[in-house]
């Protein structure tokens, strides 16, 4: 059993910064810029319908960013990858956002013993930014850091509504998206485990292993792949091999890119 020493969340979530860009999260102890105030919340991004943007809020890349932030992001990623299908951009965009959310939640759970409330309405998101996804948490308040609370925060609060919103916009399989969620979780756990080893923090390593195993057993992720040590092998494909110059990922169900099938197995 791992004994946790709980640490109060600080307003800047400073313990996350040494872990790297996927873990660090902007918060609001200072005054955000006017651009930040105009950023859509993730709650807005997950919505099925979108109103016209407010006057003067066109932003850097046109009104589409505010009309439908999620569709804007998918198009941006698809163009950046030169992907032949929009569902590939949807898959890569979803996995990137999943990695950010898992990193913040899991990092806080193992370092603080609790997680910040990451309700979609509290997180502003810049869909026109690069990777990792630029998120701004507008209010820091603590929630429990056990596996059930992390699953409720990330899986139920974000990844399921994100998946539904993406599938309403393009034909991407739900099994593929859940495989992406599991893959992003396993990758986050590997990064945390390596950091713990490098900094002689066996407590962090053990807590990470316990949380990851519990989360992968959650009904929304169970059956998405197998975990052996810190190595994860998924049972679906994120479609990255269909990007020009792309290949299969290290945890892919394929050992080499399929040659002829226009659609990869996706669960």
Nearest to 17 by CA among 103, 145, 98: 103
Of the pLDDT bands very low, low, confident and very high (cuts 50, 70, 90), residue 34 is low
pLDDT band of 10, cuts 50, 70, 90: very high
> Which band of pLDDT confidence, cut at 50, 70 and 90, is reported for residue 245?
confident
The H or E element containing residue 142 is: strand 142-144
Residue 44 has pLDDT above 80, yes or no: yes
Report pLDDT digits (tens) over 68-100.
999 999 999 999 999 999 999 999 999 999 999
Quick one: pLDDT at residue 31? Answer: 57
In the predicted model, what is the mean pLDDT of the chain? 87
Check residue 220 and give its pLDDT: 96
Which range, 1-5, 37-41, 44-48, 142-146, is most confident? 142-146
State residue 110's pLDDT score. Answer: 97
Cα separation, 74 vs 200, whole angstroms: 40
Give the confidence band of 2 by pLDDT, cuts at 50, 70, 90: very low
Residue 54 has pLDDT above 60, yes or no: no
Burial 139-159 (b: 16+ CB within 10 A, else e): ebeebebbbeebbebbbebbb
Q: How far is CA 118 from CA 136, 137, 143, 171, 237, in A?
A: 10, 7, 9, 28, 28
Residue 255 has pLDDT above 90, yes or no: no
> What is d(CA 217, CA 186) in angstroms, rounded to the nearest whole number?
12
């Amino acid at each position: 059993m791992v004994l946790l020493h709980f640490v109060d969340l600080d307003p800047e979530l400073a313990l996350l910064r040494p872990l790297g860009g996927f873990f660090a999260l902007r918060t609001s102890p200072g005054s955000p810029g006017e651009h930040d105030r105009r950023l859509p919340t993730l709650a807005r991004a997950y919505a099925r319908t979108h109103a016209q943007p407010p006057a003067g809020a066109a932003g850097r890349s046109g009104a589409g960013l505010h009309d439908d932030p999620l569709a804007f992001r998918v198009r941006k990623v698809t163009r950046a990858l030169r992907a032949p299908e929009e569902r590939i951009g949807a898959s890569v965009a979803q996995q990137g956002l999943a990695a950010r959310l898992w990193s913040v939640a899991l990092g806080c759970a193992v370092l603080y013993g609790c997680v910040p409330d990451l309700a979609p309405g509290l997180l502003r998101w810049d869909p026109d930014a690069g990777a990792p996804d630029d998120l701004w948490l507008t209010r820091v308040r603590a929630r429990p850091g056990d596996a059930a609370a992390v699953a409720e925060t990330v899986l139920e609060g974000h990844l399921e509504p994100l998946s539904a919103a993406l599938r309403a916009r393009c034909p991407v399989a739900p099994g593929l998206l859940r495989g992406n969620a599991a893959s992003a979780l396993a990758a986050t756990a590997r990064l945390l485990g390596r950091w713990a080893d490098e900094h002689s923090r066996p407590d962090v390593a053990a807590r990470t292993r316990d949380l990851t195993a519990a989360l992968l057993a959650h009904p929304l992720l169970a059956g998405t792949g197998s975990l052996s040590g810190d190595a994860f092998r998924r049972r679906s494909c994120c479609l990255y091999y269909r990007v020009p110059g792309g290949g299969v990922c290290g945890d892919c169900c394929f050992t080499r890119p399929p040659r002829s099938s226009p659609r990869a197995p996706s669960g």
